[in-house]
């Protein structure tokens, strides 16, 4: 039986009409969605939001609100501050929302922590501690290694995967963002060699990301071991809603599995494209982004076209 499909955006929400069932998915962004002044409007206009922002400052022991509201873009780009800012903003936005009623959720990299706090797998406070420790550990690894990341457009995944495999250095696929976009991570020299080769064989566009680390790659292995100890100290509940985690792209509800996947995420690729395809296959017809900006919306549009 054939089915007519229409797609459009409504208030930062991307709708896909393809069945009589209306399953709502909520998505939480990772690094790259930050902006100066983020959260200031929430702080001013919501008493509940203000209390959570103030609680964040108390827990962290410094004025994260000042970094977000009045800091410089250079400071905000620092991994330590970026991850905290996006987590705080995204979770508060979900907590004060009158329409946050998910049937399923997913978060892009760091966004998994925001998603889990929003659906009460762990508390806002515990999530903040996890993100703070994760960001510090990752920042330390970045400073002690020479890693980087690059976005590759216009080549099939298998071609990029083989190019990484065939290089003698450490370079791997790290973010399967959309059918047209795959991010690779690794040692700077290996990254440059692979990028050069991919340009020669027809990549439409390649650009090096402005980060100083090879996230979601084997270079993060030391961070993974340290982060495991921190995760083990936090109480996780089973989820009421399926969360499609980056490591497997499959729905998870058990706390044990959620913990395991969060730790593995540091060295494993973000299977975002695969997660969204699975959410659509499992009935998601609406995707709402709970975070600063709408960086995930363009990816959803490309992925959904490829899935329908």
Catalytic: which of 33, 56, 216, 239?
A: 216
- Within-domain flag for 213: no
Residue 24's domain is classified under what CATH number? 3.40.366.10
- Are 130 and 257 part of one and the same domain? yes
Q: Tell me what pLDDT residue 12 has.
A: 55
pLDDT at residue 11 tops 90:
no
- Are 52 and 119 part of one and the same domain? yes
Reported as a single tens digit per residue, the pLDDT across 50-102 is 999 999 999 999 999 999 999 999 899 888 899 999 999 999 999 999 999 99
Among the candidates 190, 208, 226, a domain finishes at 208
Strand order in the sheet with 181-187: 171-178, 181-187, 147-153, 205-208
- Are 151 and 59 part of one and the same domain? no
pLDDT at residue 211 tops 70:
yes
- Are 181 and 50 part of one and the same domain? no
- Are 131 and 230 part of one and the same domain? yes
- Are 80 and 36 part of one and the same domain? yes
Domain span at residue 162? Answer: 147-208
- Within-domain flag for 162: yes
- Within-domain flag for 169: yes
Residue 192's domain is classified under what CATH number? 3.30.70.250
Q: Tell me what pLDDT residue 4 has.
A: 28
Q: Tell me what pLDDT residue 142 has.
A: 85
More confident residue, 15 or 264: 264
- Within-domain flag for 274: yes
Reported as a single tens digit per residue, the pLDDT across 262-280 is 999 999 999 999 999 999 9
Q: How many structural domains are present in the chain?
A: 2
- Are 131 and 256 part of one and the same domain? yes
Reply yes or no on whether 109 is catalytic. Answer: yes
Q: Tell me what pLDDT residue 32 has.
A: 84
Q: Tell me what pLDDT residue 21 has.
A: 63
- Are 126 and 163 part of one and the same domain? no
pLDDT band for position 293 (50/70/90)? Answer: confident
Q: Which residues of 36-69 are buried (b: 16+ CB within 10 A; e: fewer)?
A: eebbeebbeebeebbebbeebeeebeeebbebbb
Catalytic: which of 33, 90, 109, 114?
A: 109
Reply yes or no on whether 216 is catalytic. Answer: yes
């Amino acid at each position: 039986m054939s089915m007519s499909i229409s797609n459009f955006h409504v208030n930062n929400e991307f709708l896909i009409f393809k069945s009589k069932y209306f399953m709502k998915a909520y998505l939480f962004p990772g690094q790259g969605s930050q902006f100066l002044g983020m959260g200031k409007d929430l702080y001013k206009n919501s008493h509940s939001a203000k209390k959570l922002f103030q609680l964040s400052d108390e827990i962290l022991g410094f004025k994260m609100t000042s970094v977000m509201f009045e800091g410089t873009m250079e400071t905000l780009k620092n991994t330590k501050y970026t991850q905290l800012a996006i987590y705080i903003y995204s979770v508060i936005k979900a907590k004060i929302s009158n329409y946050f009623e998910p049937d399923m959720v997913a978060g892009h990299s760091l966004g998994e922590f925001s998603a889990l706090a929003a659906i009460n797998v762990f508390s806002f406070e515990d999530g903040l501690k996890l993100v703070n420790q994760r960001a510090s550990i990752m920042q330390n690894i970045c400073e002690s290694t020479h890693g980087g990341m690059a976005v590759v457009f216009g080549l099939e995944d298998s071609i990029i995967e083989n190019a990484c495999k065939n290089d003698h250095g450490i370079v791997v696929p790290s973010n399967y963002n959309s059918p047209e976009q795959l991010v690779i991570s690794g040692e700077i020299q290996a990254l440059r060699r692979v990028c050069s080769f991919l340009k020669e064989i027809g990549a439409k566009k390649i650009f090096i990301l402005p980060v100083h680390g090879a996230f979601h790659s084997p270079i993060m292995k030391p961070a993974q071991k340290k982060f495991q100890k921190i995760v083990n100290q936090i109480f996780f509940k089973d989820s009421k809603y399926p969360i499609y985690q980056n490591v497997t792209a499959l729905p998870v509800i058990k706390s044990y599995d959620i913990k395991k996947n969060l730790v593995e995420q540091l060295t494993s690729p973000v299977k975002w494209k695969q997660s969204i395809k699975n959410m659509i296959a499992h009935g998601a017809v609406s995707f709402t982004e709970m975070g600063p900006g709408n960086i995930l919306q363009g990816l959803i549009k490309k992925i959904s076209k490829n899935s329908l």
